[in-house]
Amino acid sequence: MKALEEMKMLIWTAQNSEDHEKRNWAVRDIIEEIQKYHMWKHIAKYTRVTISGLDVEDIKQVFLIGVAEAIPHVDINIGDPVIYLIQKGKWSVLDLLRKHYRNDLRQYCHACFTETRLHEKGGVPICPVCGETGHSGLIERISRNNLDDGTYLNFVSDDLLLEDIVVSNYLVEQFRNRLSGRRREVFDLIMISGYDRHACKNYIKDIADLLGITPSNVNIRLRQIKKAWHEYMYESAVTNDI
Ligand SMILES: [Zn+2]
């Protein structure tokens, strides 16, 4: 394993050498070093949370591309530039997972032949399109991991911007465990029961009515959840928790 000073020299060469070949060699050495001594402990968890679609090799590759792309931008005079590069690799993997693993709870209505997000009222599934209720047996729940083709970006209310939450069941569960009280109730109604802008005329009001609180109170909880999510993502990235 190379010493920090040696890594700094390599980064300097990769960024500044006049010699094209030397720059390439330096980039290769940096990547090799990180691949050999750092990569696995930082991506092992990601490989466990993935469910389908991507394999470990994809994740490794994306990690290393993230590292490589960050090399021209890392400042060797601030902190440990190797840690910075590793973080960039991790964020690339997270981005990949966000895009590919939107665990989407869906339901299919056999009355109007429409697939929507899971939606229910009082514990009974209901089709947001035609109003068919689960009592008829015509609403089928489906849970799947969709390869994101751009059509599932509306997983959660646009206000929440929680689409990045849908990395995997693992992350959702970890995050949900951090919420309590009203925040968790609001989160569950949106994420599990499907009360969002796509299923409701006014989901804020619906949630407020269900919980017996005011709509502005719901809005406050949404902001708190969003803030907690960003904190969670940040902490997870810097502590290697994910
Ligand atoms: Zn329907």
Predicted confidence band of residue 214 (pLDDT cuts 50, 70, 90): very high
> Would you state the torsion angle of the CA atoms of residues 76, 79, 65, 63, taken in this order, to the nearest 10 degrees?
160
Cα-to-centroid distance, 129 and ligand 1 (Å)? 5
pLDDT of 21 reads: 95
Cα-to-centroid distance, 206 and ligand 1 (Å)? 20
Higher-confidence position of 172 and 219: 219
pLDDT of 237 reads: 56
Cα-to-centroid distance, 115 and ligand 1 (Å)? 8
Cα-to-centroid distance, 104 and ligand 1 (Å)? 18
- Using H for helix, E for strand and C for coil, what is the string for 198-210? CCCCCHHHHHHHH
Model pLDDT for residues 81-93, shown as the tens digit of each residue: 998 899 889 888 8
Cα-to-centroid distance, 130 and ligand 1 (Å)? 4
pLDDT of 144 reads: 56
Q: Which residue has the tokens 């009974």?
A: 124
In the chain, domain spans: 4-100, 102-239
C-alpha span between 134 and 32 (Å, rounded): 55
Cα-to-centroid distance, 190 and ligand 1 (Å)? 20
CA angle 115, 120, 124 (to 5 degrees): 110
Q: Which of 19-23, 113-117, 145-149, 153-157 has the highest mean pLDDT?
A: 19-23
pLDDT at position 215 over 90: yes
Q: Which of 29-33, 161-165, 172-176, 193-197 has the highest mean pLDDT?
A: 29-33
pLDDT of 4 reads: 92
Q: Average pLDDT, whole number, for the chain? A: 78
Model pLDDT for residues 143-176, shown as the tens digit of each residue: 554 433 333 333 333 334 344 444 455 566 777 8
Instruction: Indicate the fold that domain 4-100 takes in CATH.
Output: Rna Polymerase Sigma Factor; Chain: A (1.10.1740)
Two tokens, residue 161: 């911007």
pLDDT of 49 reads: 53
Two tokens, residue 124: 């009974």
Cα-to-centroid distance, 99 and ligand 1 (Å)? 28
Cα-to-centroid distance, 139 and ligand 1 (Å)? 8
Q: What is the pTM of this model?
A: 0.49
Cα-to-centroid distance, 133 and ligand 1 (Å)? 8
Model pLDDT for residues 41-66, shown as the tens digit of each residue: 888 777 655 444 567 888 899 999 99
C-alpha span between 130 and 41 (Å, rounded): 49
pLDDT at position 196 over 90: no
Cα-to-centroid distance, 187 and ligand 1 (Å)? 25
C-alpha span between 50 and 225 (Å, rounded): 24
pLDDT at position 106 over 90: no
C-alpha span between 174 and 158 (Å, rounded): 22
